[in-house]
Amino acid sequence: MYTHPVKPLPYGSGLLGPPDQNLVALRRRVQRLLTAALIATNVIGALVVVGLAALLMPAPGMSGDLVRVTAIAVPVYVVSAVVAGTLWGTGGALRTLRWAAEGRRPTDAERTASLRVPLRLTMVQAVLWGLATLVFGGLAALVQPAVVLTELLVVAFAAVVVCAIAYLFGEFALRPYAALALAGTTPPRPVTGGVNLRMLLFWCLGTGVPVAGLVVTAVLAWVRGDVSTTKLAVSVIALGLVVLCFGLLVTVFTARAVVNPITSVQNALARVRAGDFTVEIPVYDGTELGLLQAGFNGMAAGLAERERLRDLFGRHVGHEVAVEAMRTATELGGTVRTVSVLFVDLVGSTALAASRPPEEVVDLLNRFFTVVVDEVGRHHGLVNKFVGDAALAVFGAPAPLGDHATCALAAGRAIARRLAAEVSDGPAGIGVATGDAVAGNVGDPRRFEYTVIGDPVNEAARLTELAKNAPARLPASWTAVESATETEAAQWVANDQVTLRGRSRPTTLASPKS
């Protein structure tokens, strides 16, 4: 079983909770995150406005009246924006996600709308800060007209910052809902603009806007002509520091937004390499990265199905035959090999079927075959086929086995011992023979099976007929004993020669000593 030293976070952050959280808890968690993001972005925007207006723009100083008006207007507007954003933005987002609260799968339209909720929240912020630009520009026009252009540029600068951060936080907070929307489906194309749009947004926030601020500062200083060198230097240095700080912050956001989905795929790939084909990662990204996550889930599901079919195939024909089939594809024919064959047949099965309920007969057969399969596998053999209440096991094919006779004889003794102890109500006859046989695929390219054909198979079957009346119920050909190791051969004793039915040559019988 696969174990991972560090449990990966399903959505890239512990703030988003586990994938199996109930829908009520998920709604509350996301609502808190969106509200916190709304407050944080507007506070950041307000600080940007105040900082730029007071320190950065090379313009005439703000008059006392404008400072007082701004000190009152900024908090009032931030609170108003938070309330309006909560009712309009967050409330609207949760209404869009109503399908999740109802516990049902979204329609295609609902899925698309859900994945575009971060963009909708960004548009809400754009409207609110567009109004802020008009409000603060109007106040400046009434109180101190000389700084109107500066105020408009400062608030517009802050609006871009707020909108970009709102989009990033919104996309982060809504990952669980994106995972629910994309569960069991693969979007045919990115529905949120793709990685290109996201990278462009990051560039605008971390580089484009601050550098634009530097350009505007230089233009204003050049147009006015009365800006001191010290004031201009302070403005440029401050904006340069903003570029560095915001650039670092945005780079971190960029890395997390891109790396988290890739990391989830990387961790899942490690589990697949370790043999865990049941892994499924939440698809929470609406860009090409989400397509990557969904593609991995499809691949893992295909591998799981393939592994299940291979397991079923191996159970039906045996693991060795399955490996041989994959190696030789649909090639018909066989090769001559020296093998040992073990044939085991339940005694009196016809009478049992007539005198017992079918359920009891099936239970008896299952217990009987469990012992046979267990011991044949333990001794490196292959149960080639079940024939009614009998089983044919081969040692030395399809995989070569140097001591096949030793393994077959030891398996026969172990089966006889266990059947007597565990399936006492189902006595069986066992025969073991060694010789040359043809092993390979027989049938038609559309339907064939791996089998062993030759004298040792017939001999083992006839020995099984004798075994039903033999005391030990385990006759073997002396040829098999002579082919075994000295240790195994010492467990057997030679008996009479018998000409088996359908054979012209006599067979020297052997039986276990005890």
Question: In this structure, what CATH number is given to the domain that contains residue 423?
Answer: 3.30.70.1230
Angstrom distance (rounded) from CA 158 to CA 47: 9
Same domain, 27 and 172: yes
Look at residue 4 in the predicted model and tell me its pLDDT: 44
More confident: 475 or 281: 475
160 domain-assigned: yes
User: How does pLDDT run across 337-396, given as a tens digit for each residue?
Assistant: 899 999 999 887 777 777 788 888 888 889 999 999 999 989 999 888 888 889 999 999
Mean pLDDT of 10-30: 77
Q: How confident is the model at residue 305 (pLDDT cuts 50, 70, 90)?
A: confident
pTM summary value:
0.58
Higher pLDDT, 50 or 488: 488
Same domain for 247 and 365: no
Residues 6+ apart with CB under 8 A from 240: 214
pLDDT digits (tens, 9 = 90+) for 22-51: 788 888 888 888 888 878 887 877 777 777
Q: Residue 105: its pLDDT value, please? A: 83
User: Is position 318 within any domain?
Assistant: no
Instruction: Look at residues 248, 250, 282 and name the one whose alpha carbon lies nearest to residue 263.
Output: 282
Over 50: is that where the pLDDT of 2 sits?
no
Nearest residue to 92 via CA among 198, 190, 170:
170
What pLDDT was estimated at residue 324?
A: 57
Name which residue leads in pLDDT, 311 or 45.
45
The answer to whether 480 and 455 are in contact (CB under 8 A) is no
Residue 247 sits in the same domain as residue 113: yes
Asked if the structure places residue 276 within a domain, the reply is: no
Taking residues 166-183, what's their average pLDDT?
81
**Which of 108-117, 206-215, 322-331 tops mean pLDDT?**
108-117
Q: Are residues 245 and 347 in the same domain?
A: no
Question: Is 255 a member of any domain?
Answer: yes
Residue 45 has a pLDDT of: 78
**Residue positions counted in the chain:** 514
For residue 10, the model assigns a pLDDT of: 67
Report whether pLDDT(108) > 60. yes
3-state secondary structure 424-469: CCCCEEEEEEEEEEEEEEEEECCEEEEEEEEHHHHHHHHHHHHHCC
Q: What percentage of the chain has pLDDT greater than the value 70?
A: 86
- The confidence band for 435, taking pLDDT boundaries of 50, 70 and 90, is very high
Q: Phi/psi at 251 (nearest 5 deg)?
A: -60, -40
Q: Are residues 389 and 471 in the same domain?
A: yes
Close Cβ partners of 367 (under 8 Å, ≥ 6 residues apart) = 422, 423, 426
> Range with the lowest mean pLDDT among 154-158, 183-187, 289-293, 498-502?
183-187
Instruction: Verify that 349 and 470 share a domain, yes or no.
Output: yes
Q: How confident is the model at residue 456 (pLDDT cuts 50, 70, 90)?
A: very high
Distance between first and last Cα of the chain? 42
Write out pLDDT tens, residues 223-235: 766 667 777 777 7
Give the Cα separation of 496 and 507 in Å (integer).
8
Q: Which has the higher per-residue pLDDT, 106 or 220? A: 106
In a domain, 133, yes or no: yes
Q: Single out the residue in 261, 292, 311 at which a domain terminates.
A: 261
* Res 188: pLDDT: 54
* Residue 6 in domain: no
Tens-digit pLDDT profile for residues 264-294: 888 888 888 888 888 888 777 777 787 788 7
Better pLDDT: 93 or 382:
382
241/338 same-domain check? no
Domain boundary among 216, 234, 261: 261
Orientation angle between helical segments 148-173 and 23-51, nearest 10 degrees: 160
pLDDT at residue 58 is higher than 60: no
Q: Is residue 57 domain-resident?
A: yes
Predicted confidence (pLDDT) per residue in 178-189, tens digit: 888 877 666 556
Q: How many domains does the structure of the chain reveal?
A: 2
φ and ψ of 26, to 5 deg: -65, -45
Q: How far apart are CA 385 and CA 393, in angstroms?
A: 7
- Range with the poorest average pLDDT among 17-31, 227-241, 332-346, 409-423: 227-241
Place of tokens 């401050």: 238
Find which of 146-155, 203-212, 408-417 is predicted with most confidence, using mean pLDDT. Answer: 408-417
Residue 210, classed as helix, strand or coil, is helix
* Residue 5 pLDDT > 50: no
CB-based contacts of 364-371 (< 8 A; 24+ apart in sequence): 364/423, 364/425, 364/426, 365/389, 367/422, 367/423, 367/426, 368/419, 368/423, 368/426, 368/428, 371/415, 371/418, 371/419, 371/422, 371/423
Residues 324 and 322: their CA atoms lie apart, in Å, by 5
Give the tokens for residue 512: 């276990």
Is residue 245 located within the same domain as residue 368? Answer: no
Is 113 among the domain residues?
yes
Query: Would you say residue 432 has pLDDT above 80?
Result: yes
Q: Which region, left, alpha or beta, applies to residue 12 given φ > 0 means left and ψ of -120 to 50 means alpha?
A: left
- CA distances for 279 relative to 107, 200, 297, 304, 510, angstroms: 26, 33, 8, 9, 54
Q: Residue 1 — pLDDT band, cuts 50, 70, 90?
A: very low
Q: Which domain holds residue 464?
A: 332-512
Using the 3D structure, point to which of 261, 296, 322 is the last residue of a domain: 261
Q: Are 35 and 90 in contact (CB under 8 A)?
A: yes
Could you tell me if 484 and 395 lie in one domain? yes
Same domain, 251 and 343: no
Residues in CB range of 499: below 8 A, 6 or more apart: 505, 506, 507
Among the ranges given (20-29, 187-196, 394-403), the one the predictor scored with the smallest mean pLDDT: 187-196
Q: Residue 53: name the closest of 163, 128, 131, 156 by CA.
A: 156
Whether 99 and 220 map to the same domain: the answer is: yes
Q: What is the pLDDT of residue 298?
A: 81
Given a cut of 70, is residue 311 above it in pLDDT?
no
User: What does the alpha-carbon distance between residue 492 and residue 476 come to, in Å, rounded to a whole number?
Assistant: 9
Residue 496: its H or E element: strand 492-498
Q: Is the pLDDT of residue 512 over 60?
A: yes
In the DSSP assignment, the letter for residue 415 is H
The answer to whether residues 246 and 122 belong to one domain is yes
